[in-house]
Amino acid sequence: MQLRYGINPQQTQAHAIPTTPDRWPVRILHGQPSFTNLLDALNAWQLVHEAAQALGKPAAASFKHVSPAGAALSGPIDEVTEQLHGIVGSRITDLTSAYLRARDADPKSSYGDIAAVSHPVDADLAELLTGMVCDGIIAPGFEPGTVERLSTKKNGRFLILEADPAFIPPPQESREVFGVRLNQDRDQVPISRDLLDVVVGAPLPETAADDLVLGLIVLRYTQSNSVCYLRDGMTLGIGAGQQSRVDCTRLAGAKVDTWWLRRHPTVHALPFVPGLRNQEKINWQVRFIEGGLTPLERRHFAQALIEPVDELTPDQRAEWSRRLREVAFVSDGYLPFRDNIDHAQRHGVTYIAEPGGSIRSDEIAVACREHGITLARTGLRLFHH
């Protein structure tokens, strides 16, 4: 398969070769992928395929730079998401709901993503995607007319890949780095509720167990170190690729805060001028939440609004934050220090899953007891590089 280019455009010679002779896991239906496009698509497809099989619902992911910006199962769409996408009162398919919930975790980062869904693309999802800044999609099939509808995006450069759900990769995988070929067994340990060994707190409710399972699957395909926060079958914040685990926890926690504050009545009701694009609304919501607008940003923000809006006070933010509960938190490696627990609980975390095995695992358990958090250990590390 000839690729558009490598990781960077100056890497002009790039191609892909199947490791199983004459058997490809994906088929190009439209467009030409770059090296990174294909990495995103292959990782994203594995995530949604595994999540749908493990949890019995349609799954979707929004991938950027070989990590998910968000992932979700099908489920209800709240008023904030409905209003943003102009679907208030409209009926949408389960698959569309899964992608909307996945993209809503971090819609700023999802700009120009590769979308992945576990079931064939239907007309509803295809119509939604035509109005979004999305660079491509991978799915196990496409209903009649959807490929033609999507192929007009990006002036005809929208990438459409069809995954083979029956494809089984070889038991070993390899990569080359600086003249060295590295080989390893493929990580094939099944992820299910059976991994969740509760060591602190009451038994897990079914919804919490499913959130933790989804989180484990998400992190299996996220650049390490990584953690994620989840609730009601969707990620709220993912921290990826940090050298310090607590930095992951804080980064993902900040994304949770942004997601939750986007639901604050003041932010939800920001009086944007008619005709402002959705992505511009999202970007201004995020900057309004972050605060500290520069004088130039203040002028531009004022031009985006019909009328001025007062900034949220620290007390308003704190009061709103206290309302977020029943959040699940998952780590791809053991939690080395209790600071991860102390930070996570600030974002509504009630349930945690981590491998265990740290020399300070007892301190982690003590911290969870102090905060009233149910802790489950999996014994399974899920590093991904």
14 is a domain residue: no
**Same domain membership, residue 99 and residue 79:** yes
Domain that holds residue 329: 190-260+324-377
The C-alpha torsion from 379 through 333 and 60 to 113, rounded to 10°, is -160
Beta bridge partners of 59: 73
118 is a domain residue: yes
pLDDT at 89 over 80: no
Q: What percent of the chain has pLDDT over 90?
A: 93
**Same domain membership, residue 58 and residue 119:** yes
pLDDT at 5 over 80: yes
Q: What is the pLDDT of residue 208?
A: 97
Number of separate domains in the chain: 3
Instruction: Indicate the residue among 166, 200, 221 that finishes a domain.
Output: 166
Residue in this structure with the two tokens 């990174």, named with its chain if needed: 36
Instruction: Indicate the residue among 166, 181, 203 that finishes a domain.
Output: 166
341 is a domain residue: yes
**Same domain membership, residue 148 and residue 210:** no
CA distance 163 to 180: 30
**Same domain membership, residue 358 and residue 222:** yes
**Same domain membership, residue 118 and residue 51:** yes
Residues 6+ apart with CB under 8 A from 163: 25, 26, 45, 49, 138, 139, 140
| Token couple for 292 | 């500290």
What is the pTM assigned to this prediction?
0.96
Residues in the chain: 385
C-alpha distances out from residue 259 to 206, 236, 281, 325, Å = 24, 7, 14, 13
Q: What is the pLDDT of residue 90?
A: 77
pLDDT at 217 over 90: yes
- pLDDT, mean over the chain: 95
30 is a domain residue: yes
78 is a domain residue: yes
**Same domain membership, residue 162 and residue 62:** yes
Q: Which pLDDT band, with edges at 50, 70 and 90, does 244 fall under?
A: very high
249 is a domain residue: yes
Residue pair 353/330 in contact by the 8 Å Cβ criterion: yes
DSSP string, 325-379: --EEEEESS---STHHHHHHGGGTEEEEEE----TTHHHHHHHHHHHT-EEEE--
**Same domain membership, residue 287 and residue 236:** no
Residue 102's CB is within 10 A of a number of other CB atoms, namely 31
279 is a domain residue: yes
Radius of gyration of the chain, Cα coordinates, nearest whole angstrom: 21
Per residue in 285-340, pLDDT (tens digit) is 999 999 889 999 999 999 999 999 999 999 999 999 999 999 999 999 999 999 99
Q: What percent of the chain has pLDDT over 70?
A: 100
Q: What is the pLDDT of residue 333?
A: 96
**Same domain membership, residue 146 and residue 85:** yes
| Token couple for 344 | 């996570």
Per residue in 20-78, pLDDT (tens digit) is 888 999 999 999 999 999 999 999 999 999 999 999 999 999 999 999 999 999 999 99
pLDDT at 156 over 90: no
**Same domain membership, residue 205 and residue 343:** yes
pLDDT at 145 over 80: yes
Instruction: Indicate the residue among 166, 200, 228 that finishes a domain.
Output: 166
CA distance 368 to 371: 5
Residue 180 CA, chain-centre distance (Å), reads 32
Q: Which pLDDT band, with edges at 50, 70 and 90, does 207 fall under?
A: very high
- Residue 307 backbone class (left: φ over 0; alpha: ψ -120 to 50; beta: rest): beta
C-alpha distances out from residue 21 to 24, 25, 26, 49, 163, Å = 8, 11, 13, 23, 17
Q: What is the pLDDT of residue 56?
A: 97
Q: What is the pLDDT of residue 21?
A: 83
**Same domain membership, residue 241 and residue 102:** no
Among the listed ranges 19-23, 87-91, 149-153, 226-230, which one has the minimum average pLDDT value? 87-91
Residues 273-288 have a mean pLDDT of: 93
**Same domain membership, residue 294 and residue 197:** no
119 is a domain residue: yes
Q: What is the pLDDT of residue 383?
A: 97
Q: Which pLDDT band, with edges at 50, 70 and 90, does 88 fall under?
A: confident
Per residue in 159-187, pLDDT (tens digit) is 999 999 999 999 999 999 999 999 999 99
Longest dimension (CA), the chain: 62
The CATH number linked to 237 is 3.40.140.20
**CA nearest 91: which of 128, 116, 60, 58?**
128
Reduce the DSSP state of residue 95 to 3 states and report it.
helix
Catalytic residues: 64-65, 225, 385
**Same domain membership, residue 57 and residue 106:** yes
Residues 6+ apart with CB under 8 A from 258: 106, 237, 286, 289, 290
